[in-house]
Amino acid sequence: MDCLIEEQAVGGIPITIVRSCVDQHLHQSDVAVLFLLHGRKEPIKRYVEHAKTLVNAMTKQDNARSLGLVVVLFEQRNHGSRLVSAVANESWSTGNPTHATDMWSIQYGTAKDVSFLMDVLPMHLSATMSVHRWGVAGVSLGGHSTLLAAVHEPRLDVAVSIIGCGDYASLMVPRAQASGLSISTDSCECFPPSLVQILTRLDPVNNVHKLDNQKLLILGGGLDAMVPPSANKMFIDRVRERYGAEGKSEWFDERIDPDAGHTFSPWMMVQTQQWLCKYLLSR
């Protein structure tokens, strides 16, 4: 099934909008907007295909009981047309000594871009469209950005983090050690005190208290060596405790594809569709 694909520049950020071209959905005025964030060094074209899959799956739903889905894609900071330094996208093992600070800055900046676009995007959509809900989903680096956006942007209704992590230190310290670096989170050139300070203030694991009405799904791969599910343990435990204490346990889930590595598997796509249908699109 074909989709309507439109490219715009919004506040200097090139965006791609994907939505249904089926007549009854094309003219739907009440919509939900989903930001779909790509992974490190991945091409955005691949995510246009993911967006089309999501839109087509949602189009099959009963549109009388569902909001129309509008998927918005844009490049992560320092990627694609926004590239400033190719080295900054590399890891320690591929020649970037400031990998930890570079990747943090990129994913946090992209999360801030989500908030910015939520402010201004409605002006650039069709005048007949009314945005009723906002969601964000992302893969790998995009999954990290998704969790940052979820804890810092209260207007988000739904977040799906796919092979992403909400605890940067738990993810990156073992990576550094695997790269042969002597590292501690107290003081280290590749993990400087200034980064530790910003993680204390801004990292999702330290901001779970800011989660309120977000319906949050975390998807991981049981064989993922890049972002192992264990790196998320503290974050997940804290979210589960918070949502449970507030009687919102059904609004949070962690689901693991036991046979998947560091990839957005077909099973994860199905889980994403189900979560979006239930929490983002249902009236």
In 86-137, alpha helices (H): 99-124
Provide the pLDDT for residue 64. 60
In order of 8, 185, 190, the CA distances from 144 in angstroms are 25, 19, 20
- Residue range 37-89, pLDDT digits in tens: 999 999 999 999 999 999 999 887 766 668 999 999 999 999 999 999 999 99
- Residue range 111-143, pLDDT digits in tens: 999 999 999 999 999 888 899 999 999 999 999
What percentage of the chain carries pLDDT values higher than 70? 93
The CATH code of the domain that includes 158 is 3.40.50.1820
Question: pTM score, two decimals?
Answer: 0.95
Show the domain range for 203.
Answer: 3-281
Tally the domains of the chain.
1
Report d(CA 268, CA 272) in Å as an integer.
Answer: 6
Residues 100 and 172: beta-carbon distance below 8 Å: yes
Phi, psi (rounded to 5 degrees) for 28: -70, 130
